[in-house]
């Protein structure tokens, strides 16, 4: 399969990447629904807060700083217990982690909001997201191994994927911080922005309905950040699953394969068609992802560059075939300039 090897690997690895991307997109569609549900729940508790404590002049900041009664504290405990129960948490220490004997109305509102966001980020985004990333890794590993078997005409038994190994990859800070840390930062930033808007509402004497547009912007921004994180993490897991298959099947070198279209980043343009030894593999330096939303992949390199690879015609936006040895720089010079 030497003459068509470049086309074979380009097509197979593109399919592997697309399968992983579909898994992430499916998870993200469900996650967006949870984001919207969390937004509606937060708006509801703010509305209830306003109705309960406002007077004829509205709700002032001073009124919000009054302490809860014992009955109100009991109601707060019930609310938080209910939210955490949906996460499978019934540990009383966890449920009452921030409930003090003396709590102001405003502090109680913040606790309600934080509980809702814990449910969104810690349960749906983190726990379910990690399971999706594990699935992406396994799929990439098995598909790459299968493609190598077909290419070589020899079948080898798959090695068992150790879940703890995948968990270590998810915890690995390949781009400066790991998945969990980035989620925590996103959640804390959202809490800060929501608190700022609520405080402004109280100080300026506004009605909760005035927060709707601001909240929509905050949640839309966080949804975008969520997709960017998931896309980048999944690219990492796809390549790590691929790398493991390379090592276990004796692949000694790999080639960088960027997308030949005008959307490709500068760093990926420079890396395109570069060949590296497996032991020189470093994410972000000699292997993708090189940046958020990175579409670049790798293919095994067996010392030949015959055949073709797929590119995008910049005029018609249709697929086209170019020589496998053509780099992004050469493609850009010939077809774009």
Q: What pLDDT is recorded for position 327? A: 76
Tens of pLDDT, residue by residue over 154-193, are 766 667 788 899 999 999 999 899 999 999 999 999 999 9
Same domain, 236 and 287: no
Q: Which long-range contacts (CB under 8 A, 24 or more apart) does 144-148 make?
A: 144/13, 144/16, 144/241, 144/242, 144/245, 144/246, 145/245, 145/248, 145/249, 147/9, 147/12, 147/13, 147/16, 148/245, 148/246, 148/249, 148/251, 148/300
| Predicted local distance difference test score (pLDDT) of residue 329 | 84
Q: Could you say which of 250, 280, 308 is where a domain stops? A: 250
On the question of pLDDT at 6 being above 80, the answer is no
Please tell me whether residues 172 and 231 are part of one structural domain: yes
State the average pLDDT over residues 20-36.
96
User: Do 234 and 293 sit in the same domain of this protein?
Assistant: no
Q: Which domain holds residue 284?
A: 252-337
For residues 143 and 172, state if they share a domain: yes
Mean pLDDT of 58-76: 91
The mean pLDDT value for 77-82 works out to: 88
Same-domain status, 217 and 202? yes
32 and 165 part of one domain: yes
Domain-ending residue, one of 203, 222, 250: 250
The pLDDT assigned to 102 comes to 82
Residues 160 and 206 in one domain: yes
Chain segment 223-281, per-residue pLDDT in tens: 999 999 999 999 999 999 999 999 988 899 999 999 888 899 999 999 999 999 999 99
214 plus 296 within the same structural domain: no
Per-residue pLDDT tens digits for 97-151: 556 668 899 999 999 999 999 999 998 999 999 999 999 999 999 999 889 888 8
Rounded mean pLDDT of the chain? 89
On whether both 31 and 104 belong to a single domain, the answer is: yes
Write down the pLDDT at residue 318.
74
- Looking at the fold, whether 230 and 147 belong to one and the same domain comes out as yes
**Which of 250, 275, 310 lies at the terminal end of a domain, its last residue?**
250
pLDDT above 70 for 306: no
Instruction: Please report the DSSP string for 209-251 in residue order.
Output: GGGHHHHHHHHHHHHHHHHHHHHHHHHHHHHHHHHHHHHHTT-
- Is the domain of 20 the same as that of 43? yes
pLDDT greater than 90 at residue 198: yes
* Residue that has been written with the tokens 């570069």 in this structure: 274
Residues 246 and 274 in one domain: no
Number of structural domains, the chain? Answer: 2
> Is residue 90 over pLDDT 60?
no
Q: What pLDDT is recorded for position 305?
A: 65
What stretch of H or E contains 176? none
Distance, in Å, from the CA atom of 125 to the CA atom of 273, rounded to the nearest integer, reads 36
pLDDT of amino acid 237:
97
| pLDDT, position 309 | 73
């Amino acid at each position: 399969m030497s003459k068509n090897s470049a086309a074979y690997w380009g097509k197979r690895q593109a399919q592997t990447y697309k399968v992983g991307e579909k898994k992430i997109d499916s998870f993200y569609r469900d996650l967006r629904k949870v984001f919207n549900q969390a937004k509606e729940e937060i708006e509801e508790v703010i509305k209830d807060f306003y109705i309960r404590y406002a007077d004829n002049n509205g709700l002032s900041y001073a009124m919000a700083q009054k302490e809860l009664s014992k009955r109100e504290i009991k109601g707060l405990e019930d609310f938080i217990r209910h939210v955490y129960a949906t996460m499978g948490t019934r540990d009383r220490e966890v449920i009452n982690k921030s409930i003090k004997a003396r709590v102001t109305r405003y502090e109680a509102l913040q606790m309600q909001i934080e509980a809702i966001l814990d449910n969104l980020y810690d349960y749906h985004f983190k726990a379910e997201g990690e399971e999706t990333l594990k699935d992406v890794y396994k799929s990439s590993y098995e598909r790459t191994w299968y493609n190598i078997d077909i290419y070589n005409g020899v079948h080898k038994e798959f090695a068992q994927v150790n879940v703890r190994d995948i968990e270590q990859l998810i915890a690995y800070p390949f781009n400066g911080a790991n998945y969990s840390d980035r989620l925590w930062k996103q959640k804390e930033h959202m809490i800060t922005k929501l608190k700022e808007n609520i405080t402004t509402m109280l100080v300026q004497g506004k009605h909760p309905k005035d927060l709707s547009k601001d909240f929509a912007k905050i949640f839309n921004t966080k949804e975008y950040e969520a997709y960017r994180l998931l896309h980048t993490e999944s690219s990492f897991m796809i390549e790590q699953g691929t790398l493991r298959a390379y090592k276990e099947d004796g692949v000694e070198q790999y080639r960088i394969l960027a997308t030949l279209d005008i959307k490709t980043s500068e760093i990926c343009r420079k890396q395109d068609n570069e060949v590296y030894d497996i032991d020189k593999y470093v994410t972000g330096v000699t292997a993708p992802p090189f940046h958020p939303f990175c579409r670049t992949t790798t293919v095994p390199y067996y010392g030949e560059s015959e055949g073709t690879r797929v590119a995008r015609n910049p005029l018609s936006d249709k697929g086209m075939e170019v020589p496998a040895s053509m780099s992004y720089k050469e493609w850009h010079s010939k077809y774009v300039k």
